[in-house]
Amino acid sequence: MTPPLTCLLLFVLWTILLLLSVGASRVWQIARGGKKPSDFPGDVPHGGDAYRRLNRAHLNCVENLPLFAAVVLAAAVLGVDNGWLDRLAVVSVVARVGQSTTHILSGSNRAVQVRFSFFGIQVLCLLAMLAITASHA
């Protein structure tokens, strides 16, 4: 398996881990008797700041995973074998984990700046990966 495909699977795993964390939080709240299963509507903010940050970190992954997957899968289909593509995929996933972790830990102005830096790195990596892949088409 190529490094970008491995990174794609790691991105999926990270997204699932965040989903399970959100789910565990909800199950815990229901088990304690503080909430009913219907107390978590998708279109209404609920829970404390930490819970909302965790939920948003998961949703950020869900929003960005298809873009990363499209580029990685296109590269795989085209048979792109490029060391830069490999490194960019790794940097992108590391930045994704950094962004999510920062998002979960704090909502401070400094944390938002760090989170945005991680996001910027991912966008640049994705654009470079796209360019490398397109050059092989």
CATH assignment of the domain containing 126: 1.20.120.550
| Segments forming the whole domain that contains residue 78 | 3-135
Q: Say how many domains are in the chain.
A: 1
Identity at 83, one-letter amino acid code: G
| Token output for 93 | 């996933």
Task: State the average pLDDT over residues 60-73.
Answer: 98
Tell me: pLDDT of 46 over 90: no
pLDDT value of residue 66: 98
Number of H helices, E strands in the chain: 4, 0
Q: How far is it, in rounded angstroms, from Cα 135 to Cα 16? A: 32
Query: Model confidence over 75-113: pLDDT tens digits?
Result: 999 999 999 999 999 999 999 999 999 999 999 999 999
pTM: 0.91
List phi, psi (to 5°) of 2: -75, 155
Task: State the average pLDDT over residues 4-11.
Answer: 98
